[in-house]
Structure 1
Amino acid sequence: MEFQVGRGAFAEAVGWAARALPSKSPVPVLGGLLLEADAGRLTASGFDFETAARIGTDAETSGSGRVLVLGRRLLDICRVLPEGAVRCALEGTRFTVEAGGTEFGLSTLPLDEYPPLPSPPAPYGVVDAAGFADAVGQVAVAAGRDDTLPALTGVQLRLEGEEMTVSALDRYRYAVRKLPWKPEAGADGEAVEALLPARRLLDVARSLARCGSVRIGLDPSAPGGGLVGFEGGRMRSVVRRLDGRLPGYGSLFELTGAAVAEVECGALAEAVRRVSVVAEANSPVRLDFSATDGSVRVRAGYGDDVAAQRLPAALTGAEEVTVAFRPAYLLDALNSFEGPVLRMELLGAGQRALLSAAGAGAEDVTAHRHLLMSVKQLV
C-alpha cells in the first residue's frame, strides 16, 4: 500500500474520520483509523459502534491496500506536517508518513479485529446544510446531560411532509426549531421520528454546515436502535439512534393568559451575564417587568452582595410580572436566538415561560421556541 496526497486533503480526511473515535474504549482497535487506498482514491474511516465517519479524497495510489493506525496519533501528526505532498506507505507492520523531508513511523493495529463499518441507510430527504446546523445548535443546548436518562440526552428529528422539526429537552427546558426540507420521491409523507445523541448530532451538523445540502438517510420502519445517515459532499456519517421518543410539546407551549414582554435579546443576555457574577451556585437571576416604566430590572444576589441592571422592555397583558431563572439555562436560551428582539410569554414565578423571536408566528416554518421553567423562590 502506497499513496501520495496533498497535506490539506490528508489533514481534512483524517480530521473528519477522527470525529468518530471514542475518547476511551475497552476495545483498542476502535482507537484506530481505517485508511483504504485504491484506484486514485483514499478513504479514511472511524467507528465506535455508535457513530461511523467516512470521507474520500483524490490521491495518487501506486499500491492499493488497507491499514489501521492509531487515530489520535495520526491526527497529531497531520497538525505538524509541513506544506506540500504527503507520501504514505505500508511496510510490513510499519506505516510511514513523509512530507517536506520529515518522516513519521507508526505501528499498525490488527485489521482482522476491526468491526465492519455499518452500511448507511437509504436516502430519505435533503435539507439545507447551514440551516440544519443552525437548527441543531439552537435546540441542542436544551438536551440533558444525565446519562441515567438517555432519551433526554438526545435531539429528536421529526420529518413530516416538507417540514423538519428539531427538538430537545431536559426536566427544566424544551427547545424546538422548525425548518423546511425536501423528502425523496419515494417518501410517503408520513411523520417519521428519530432520536439521536445530542453531542454527536451537533458535531455532525456543524461539520457539514458548508456542504450546501445534507442528504439524510433512515429506515422509517426502525423505531429504535436503527441508524441515521448524513452525507454532504465527500463526507458521510452514520449515527445510531437512541431508544424512545420525546413527549409532545403542543400543550406545554400553550400559555393561556400569559403576559407578553419584548426586550432586546443581546442586551438582556449581556445584563444576565453581568449581574450573575454575584450569584451563588444555582441561585436565580430575577427579571422584574413593568408596563408602567416600560422596563425590566435584571437582578441577582442576596443581602449586600447584589447586582442589578435596568433595560427598556415592553410589557402587555399585565402591569407587572416577575420571573426568575437559573442563569446558565437563561443564557443558553438567549444565546440560541439570532433575532434582535426577544418575545417572552410569561405566566409568573414557578411557571412556564416561552421564548421566541419577536414577529415569529406559531405557524412560521422557521420558528424557534424555547420553553423555560421559572423558579418558585425569587431573589
Structure 2
Amino acid sequence: MKLRLDQKQLADAARRAHRRLPNNPLRPVLSGLLIEASSDTVTLSGFDLETATRATLDAETLEPGETVVPGRLLADVAAALPAGPVDLVADEHEATITAPGTSFTLPTLPRREYPALPEPPGASGVVDGDRLATVIGHAAQAAMAEKEAVGTMTGFGGVHVRADGDQLIVSASDRYRIVRHTLPWQPDGERAGELLLPAPGFAVTAKQMAGHPVRIAFAEGTSGVAALATERLTVTDRTLAVDFPDIARFFPDPAAAAGWMRADADELAEAVKRAALVNEKPEQPIMLTFDRDEVTVRGGVEGSKGASRIAAETADLDGFEIAYRPDFLSSLLTPVDGLVQMWFTTATKPALLAPVDDDTYRAVCMPVRLPK
C-alpha cells in the first residue's frame, strides 16, 4: 500500500477513528486502526466489537491496499507531523510515514485477525449536528451511571431517540431526573424508528459530528445495529437490548399542581451553586423556600450555612419548602434560556420544570425526602 495524504486530514481522521478504541482489548488487533485505500479515498476504522467508527479522507493512492496499525500511536504521530503532504507506505510487517524532514516507522498488526465491521443500516433521516450534539450531551448527563445501569436498570443507562413525524424525541432518566427534548429533523419518507444507545458513547459520537448535518439510521429488523453519519464520519453502534422505561407517565400534569413559580433560570442556577458551597458532600440537598415574590435557596447544616435569594413570581406557594440535590437541579436548568417555570404538588412528589417560552424541553426532578 502506498499513499499520499494531507497531514491535517490524516490527523483529524486518526483522532476521530481512535476515540472509541478499547484501553485493554480482548484481542490485541482491536487496539489498531484499519486503513483501507481505494483509488481516491482512504478510510480509517476503529472497532471494539460494539462500536465501529469509520473516518474517510481524500488521498492520492499510488498502490491500493489494507493494513492495521496501532491506533493511538498513529493518532499521536499524525498530530505531530508538519503541515503538508504525508507519504504512507505499508507492507505486511511495518508502515512508514514520511513528511518533509520527518519519518516514522510503525509496526503493523495482523490484518487477517481484524474482525469484519458491521454494515450501517439505511439512513432514516437527517438532523442538525450542532443541535443534536447539545441535546444528546445534556440528556447523557441525566442517564444512570454505567456501573449502576445493570440488570433491570440497563435501560436507564442509555439515551433514547424516537422519531415522531418531523420531530425527534430524545429522553433519558436516572430515576431521579427525567429529561425530554424535541428537535426537528427531516425524515426519509414515513419510516419510523427508535434507538437506545449507551449514554457516554452516544454523547461522544454526537459531539464529534457537531457542525455537520447528521444522518441517523435506526436499526432494521432484529439487527440491533444503528448508525450516525456525516459526509466524512460514520459510527455504527450496537443498541442496548432492552426497552427504554415508560417515563411519560411520570411527567406531572401542570393543571394538577398545587402551585408554581417562575424565575430567571441562570439566576436560580447561580443561587443553587452559591448555596451548595457550604455543603459537605455533592449529594447533600439544598432547600428552596418560596414567598410571594422571591425564592430563597439554603445550603449547609449545623455549622456552615449559606442562603441566596432571587426574585421570582409564585402562585400558591407562600411558605412552601422543598429539597433537591443541587447538582441534579442545576443540570436540569442548563438548557433553559430565560425564564423557567416549575410546578409543585407536595414536598415529596416530583416537580415539572420547563422553559416559559420554549415547548421543546421538559424535565422532572425528584425531591429529597428530609428526616422529620
Q: Same fold (TM over 0.5)?
A: yes
Q: Which runs of 5+ in 2 are unaligned?
A: none
**What does 1:319-334 correspond to in 2, within 5 Å?**
319-334=318-333
In 1, Cα distance between equivalents of 2:246 and 2:142? 15
Which residue does the alignment assign to 1:74? 74
In 2, Cα distance between equivalents of 1:220 and 1:35? 28
Q: CA deviation at 1:188?
A: 4.2
Q: CA deviation at 1:92?
A: 4.1
Which residue does the alignment assign to 1:233? 231
**What does 1:336-375 correspond to in 2, within 5 Å?**
337-360=335-358, 364=359, 367-375=360-368
Q: CA deviation at 1:91?
A: 4.0
SS state at 1:15 partner: helix
Which residue does the alignment assign to 1:98? 98
Which residue does the alignment assign to 1:8? 8
Which residue does the alignment assign to 2:264? 264
In 1, Cα distance between equivalents of 2:106 and 2:363? 48
1:154-197 deviation per Cα after TM superposition (whole angstroms, max 9, x unaligned): 00111122221000111211111011222212x345xx322111
Amino acid at match of 1:121: P
In 2, Cα distance between equivalents of 1:231 and 1:373? 36
Amino acid at match of 1:72: R
In 2, Cα distance between equivalents of 1:92 and 1:253? 59
Which residue does the alignment assign to 1:377? 370
Amino acid at match of 1:74: L
SS state at 2:15 partner: helix
Q: CA RMSD in A?
A: 1.7
In 1, Cα distance between equivalents of 2:275 and 2:96? 55
1:195-246 deviation per Cα after TM superposition (whole angstroms, max 9, x unaligned): 11111111111111111x2111123533xx6111111121111111001222
Decide whether the 8 Å contact of 2:92 with 2:108 is kept in 1.
Answer: no
In 2, Cα distance between equivalents of 1:320 and 1:52? 55
In 2, Cα distance between equivalents of 1:139 and 1:92? 45
SS state at 1:320 partner: coil
In 2, Cα distance between equivalents of 1:338 and 1:217? 29
Decide whether the 8 Å contact of 1:322 with 1:348 is kept in 2.
Answer: no
Which residue does the alignment assign to 1:283? 284
Q: How many residues align?
A: 365
In 1, Cα distance between equivalents of 2:6 and 2:238? 32
Q: CA deviation at 1:343?
A: 1.2
Residue of structure 2 aligned with 1:170, choices 170, 174, 184: 174
Which residue does the alignment assign to 2:199? 198
Which residue does the alignment assign to 1:246? 244
1:313-368 deviation per Cα after TM superposition (whole angstroms, max 9, x unaligned): 11113323211111221222122x141221111223222011111123xxx4xx11
Decide whether the 8 Å contact of 1:96 with 1:104 is kept in 2.
Answer: yes
Which residue does the alignment assign to 2:156? 152
In 2, Cα distance between equivalents of 1:207 and 1:302? 43
Decide whether the 8 Å contact of 2:127 with 2:186 is kept in 1.
Answer: yes
Decide whether the 8 Å contact of 1:286 with 1:378 is kept in 2.
Answer: no
What's the TM-score, normalizing by structure 1? 0.92
1:133 matched to 2:133? The reply is yes
Against the structure 1 CA distance between its residues 13 and 160, is the aligned structure 2 distance closer, same or farther, given a 3 Å change threshold? same
SS state at 1:251 partner: helix
In 2, Cα distance between equivalents of 1:91 and 1:220? 38
**What does 1:180-191 correspond to in 2, within 5 Å?**
180-185=184-189, 187-189=190-192
Q: Which runs of 5+ in 1 are unaligned?
A: none
> Which stretch of the first structure deviates more once superposed, 113-122 or 141-150?
141-150
SS state at 2:221 partner: coil
In 2, Cα distance between equivalents of 1:259 and 1:283? 25
1:121-153 deviation per Cα after TM superposition (whole angstroms, max 9, x unaligned): 012112222222222122111100024232111
In 1, Cα distance between equivalents of 2:336 and 2:61? 46
Against the structure 1 CA distance between its residues 288 and 300, is the aligned structure 2 distance closer, same or farther, given a 3 Å change threshold? same
Amino acid at match of 1:261: M
SS state at 2:312 partner: strand
In 2, Cα distance between equivalents of 1:51 and 1:359? 38
Decide whether the 8 Å contact of 2:143 with 2:174 is kept in 1.
Answer: yes
In 2, Cα distance between equivalents of 1:324 and 1:100? 63
SS state at 1:29 partner: helix
| Percent identity of equivalent pairs | 35
Against the structure 1 CA distance between its residues 200 and 300, is the aligned structure 2 distance closer, same or farther, given a 3 Å change threshold? same
In 1, Cα distance between equivalents of 2:175 and 2:219? 29
In 1, Cα distance between equivalents of 2:114 and 2:371? 56
Q: CA deviation at 1:378?
A: 7.2
Decide whether the 8 Å contact of 2:252 with 2:351 is kept in 1.
Answer: no
Which residue does the alignment assign to 1:21? 21
In 1, Cα distance between equivalents of 2:250 and 2:218? 29
In 2, Cα distance between equivalents of 1:238 and 1:295? 49
In 2, Cα distance between equivalents of 1:340 and 1:378? 34
Runs of 4+, deviation exceeding 4 Å = none
In 2, Cα distance between equivalents of 1:94 and 1:283? 55
Decide whether the 8 Å contact of 1:11 with 1:79 is kept in 2.
Answer: yes
